[in-house]
């Protein structure tokens, strides 16, 4: 667990190691201001929306989840 408050958590949401329940538990424990979805390109559009619904503001974490378009730069 981080020793300091987390403003932005970069959260992997796709891959053979990913378990969304564990991801939600981790997000709730860290309590970041926002989540940025990473390692998500293997997900279909339906998978992308499902992850956003499960892990985002109206889902299990209650925290805003950002999904930038591929190639988009973010200033954090």
Residue 75 to residue 57: CA distance in whole angstroms: 21
Q: What is the pTM of this model?
A: 0.85
Judge whether 73 lies within some domain.
no
Judge whether 42 lies within some domain.
yes
Q: Give per-residue pLDDT as tens, 2-40.
A: 899 999 999 999 988 889 999 999 999 999 999 999 988
Q: Give per-residue pLDDT as tens, 32-72.
A: 999 999 988 888 999 999 999 999 999 999 998 998 888 88
Judge whether 49 lies within some domain.
yes
Number of domains in the chain: 1
Q: Which domain holds residue 62?
A: 8-66
Judge whether 28 lies within some domain.
yes
Residue 50 to residue 43: CA distance in whole angstroms: 10
């Amino acid at each position: 667990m981080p020793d300091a408050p987390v403003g932005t958590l970069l959260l992997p949401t796709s891959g053979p190691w990913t378990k969304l329940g564990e991801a939600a538990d981790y997000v709730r424990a860290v309590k970041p201001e926002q989540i940025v979805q990473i390692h998500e390109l293997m997900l279909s559009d339906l998978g992308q929306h499902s992850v956003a619904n499960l892990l985002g503001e109206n889902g299990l974490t209650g925290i805003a989840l950002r999904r930038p378009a591929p190639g988009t730069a973010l200033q954090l």
